[in-house]
Amino acid sequence: MIHLIWVALICIGFVFAAAQGNIEVVTKAAFDGAATGVTVCFGLISVLVFWMGMMRLAEDGGLLQKISKLLAPFVAFLFPDVPRNHPAMGYILSNMSANLLGLGNAATPMGIKAMQELQTLNPDKQTATPAMCTLLALNTASITLIPTTLIAIRLNYHSAHPAEIVGTTLVATAIATFAAIAADRWYRSRELRRPPAKPPSQTPLSPQPPQTTATPASSLTAPPVSSPATPRTGITAAKGRDTTWKG
C-alpha cells in the first residue's frame, strides 16, 4: 500500500508541475534529493559504525545481558503467552535493549528474528498472535534514551546543539510507549472477554410424515374371483385312459 502512495505523490507532483509549466523544477528537485540522500547516508555511516561498535562492546562486556535481566519481568508481563525459556524472549529483549540506545538498525534484525520465533508458537499461520501485535507496538513506539540516528542527522546538517533533542525524545517515546501498551492491554482484555465462537449447530431433521400418493381410479381393479373347483374325474385327459379303482 505504501508504494502506491509514493507513486501517487510522484504522479501528482509531475501533473501539477506540467500544468504550471515548471517541469524543470521537478527534475532539479529529483536530482537534488538523490544527491542529498547519498550525502546523508555517508554522514550516517560513521556515526552508525561507532554506535554499532559500542553496542558490540556492550554485548561482549555483559551490559546488554544486565539490561535484559532488568527488563525480563517487564517483558514476561507483556508477553504472558510466550514461555520464558523460548528463544523468542531473548530476541525480544535484545530488540528492546537496542531500541533503548537508539540503534534502530541493530534492533531491526532482532525484531525480525523475534517475529520468526513467535511464528513457531502461532497455531494459525495466517493470523498474527497477540504476542506479535505487542512486539510490533513496542518496536514502533519504543522508549529511546539516546536518539543516535537523529543526533547523527543533526550533526550532518551542522546543528549547533545536535544533542538537545534527547530530553524531548525521551518524553515523546515514553508517552508513545505507554499509549501502545495501554492499547495492547485493552485489546487483549477485550479478546479475553469475548465469548468463544460456537460451532455451527447440527440440528437433526424433524421426521417427515410419509407421503401417500393417490392411486388413480383406473388402476383400481377388483381381485380376480376364483372359479369353483370342479371334481376330478378318474380319467386323465393327458393319458386318455380310465384310472378309477375297481374293487
**Interval 47-96: pLDDT, tens:** 777 777 777 787 788 776 777 778 788 888 888 888 878 888 888 888 88
DSSP string, 102-167: T-HHHHHHHHHHHHHHHHTT-SSTTS--HHHHHHHHHHHS---SS-HHHHHHHHHTT-SSTTTTHH
What does the pLDDT average to over 169-191? Answer: 88
Of 22 and 136, which is predicted with more confidence?
Answer: 136
Q: Rounded to whole angstroms, what are the CA distances from 45 to 36, 49, 53, 171?
A: 14, 6, 12, 27
Q: What DSSP state is assigned to residue 168?
A: H
Report the pLDDT value the prediction gives residue 155, as an integer from 0 to 100: 80
Of 230 and 128, which is predicted with more confidence?
Answer: 128
